[in-house]
Amino acid sequence: GNDHAATAVTYHKLALLYAGMNQLDKAETYEKNSMDLFWKNFGDASPASGSVTSSLAHIYELKQKNTEAFSMYANDDRIQQKILNRNFSFMSGEEKEKFIASVNIYGDMFHSFALTFGEKDNKAWGMAYDHALRDKGMLFRSDARMRQVVTTSRDTSLASLYETWNR
């Protein structure tokens, strides 16, 4: 039906197609519809919701609607933060690095936007800086905490498993 997640995917792909054809009004309409359906079906903390939010931000950027683009990039940043908070503590160090790399394409899109828009509104530069620090800090804190737990434990099997993970 019209509220199904598959419909959201179709809308998203149509938005990307129209954006590629520089028919940005149509792209915006389809991406908004896609975003509404993804949020309705999966909530605001799913990778799909983040993807369409970032895509809508890019469409706004192409239309030179920089305030709207910044707002959408900020929403995407909140979504990525929720996803990281929910999943990060359960991942190994390598999984964490791969996860951050998988969502960094959207961060890279924002950083590119922030380089130009930041001249008009330095909040964009601040958010880009905070984003980079957050990701690096999460990896560092997580790894340091795990190392502390393992080194203070008397469990030799845990220490062995930790050594295996870090090879």
Q: Write the DSSP assignment of 108-132 as a string of letters.
A: HHHHHHHHHHTTT-THHHHHHHHHH
Residue 139 has pLDDT above 60, yes or no: no
Six token digits for residue 159: 């220490």
Six token digits for residue 113: 């936007």
pLDDT band of residue 15 (cuts 50, 70, 90) is very high
Six token digits for residue 158: 């845990």
Place of tokens 């359960």: 90
Residue 158 has pLDDT above 80, yes or no: no
Q: What is the mean pLDDT of residues 100-117?
A: 73
Give the CA diameter of the chain. 63
Share of the chain residues as helix, strand and coil, in percent rounded to the nearest 5 = 85, 0, 15
In Å, what is the CA distance from 68 to each residue of 17, 53, 121, 145?
Answer: 21, 11, 13, 39
Closest CA relative to residue 166, chosen from 106, 96, 77: 96
Q: What is the mean pLDDT of residues 79-94?
A: 73
Q: Let me know: does 166 contact 93? Beta carbons within 8 Å.
A: yes
Residue 67 has pLDDT above 80, yes or no: yes
Q: Tell me what the pLDDT averaged over the chain comes to.
A: 80
